[in-house]
Amino acid sequence: MSGNYLEKILRGEKTIESRFSRIACPPYKAVAPGDVVLFKHSGGTVRAKAEVLSVVYYAGLTPDRVANIVADHSGGLALEPDFIQTKAEARYATLIFLHRVELVSPLSFPKRDRRGWVVLADTQVPLASFDQSKTNRRRRYTGSKLKPWSRTTPDHVNPESPEGVFRELRTNEWRRSWWDRELDERSLRQLHRATESVLLERIRKRLTSAVGGASPYRDGMQTPYTGNVIYYAQHALALCCRKCIADWYGLPRDRELTPDELELFTALVAAFIQDRRKGIVSRLTH
């Protein structure tokens, strides 16, 4: 990236990184909230990092729509005047809303391609700021009767580590799509109106009734696609049915989930919803 843009990002004058392209190539459909983006001078060393607050993708663009997007976000994009001429032919666009921009001490980073930036594996997915820490603390001090996932089942994700779960599940394109897809009206309302304690209670109830029991009736059919933001989380996190839970978390289908397991899964769903909330707030304010 040209030094000029990098300096603007570091000064907070540029808050949106964009990529316009004629074909659907990364970062199109390849970035998600919580990803960490490293910035470097073209051909140089990494100078800054930022966290992705939200992402908006566009497809089927025309020169007019490109111009509109650039005009709508001119403040955050802080583009050079000649930018539009060079991108009028673009069909796809990705807008990456940045926050927590930090200068990093110059370090060399293997340059993989001609892009001026690299998205790191999403190792820094923000955790829910509510209850997650409480849950962790409580478990740490009361002694865990939980399944030691990391030791016995290396092939499965460990719900004690939301970052790990998010990272692994987002390697699956279908799971990942639940982070990006538009919420339906009812889910949006729920996202805006429910207080955190109400939401946590709803998550607990929903998980208990949908996947809490042993071998649920019509397992695999119990979680709709719309109407509740918790359903989105369940699909994103493979908590939709006992078959998916068995595949991803390694828990047998023929027994009830324990209260501790349900509590961990509740925290995961809450973390997902927190993530989606941040995306929406940013979309509304930009």
Q: How far is the CB of 112 from Zn ion (least distance, A)?
A: 35
60 with 91: CB under 8 angstroms?
A: yes
Q: Nearer Cβ to Zn ion, position 244 or 269?
A: 244
Determine the Cα–Cα distance for residues 273 and 168; give it in Å rounded to an integer.
17
Q: Nearer Cβ to Zn ion, position 240 or 269?
A: 240
Q: How far is the CB of 241 from Zn ion (least distance, A)?
A: 3
Binding site for Zn ion (CB under 5 A): 240-241, 244
Query: How is residue 214 annotated by DSSP?
Result: S
Amino acid in the structure at residue 267:
A
Q: How far is the CB of 174 from Zn ion (least distance, A)?
A: 11
Q: How far is the CB of 53 from Zn ion (least distance, A)?
A: 29
| 15, 21, 27, 30: CA torsion to nearest 10 | 130
Say how far residue 201 (Cα) sits from the centre of its chain. Answer: 23
Q: Nearer Cβ to Zn ion, position 207 or 241?
A: 241
Q: Nearer Cβ to Zn ion, position 196 or 247?
A: 247
237 with 163: CB under 8 angstroms?
A: no
Q: How far is the CB of 171 from Zn ion (least distance, A)?
A: 17
Determine the Cα–Cα distance for residues 105 and 44; give it in Å rounded to an integer.
13
Phi, psi values for residue 160, rounded to 5° = -75, -15
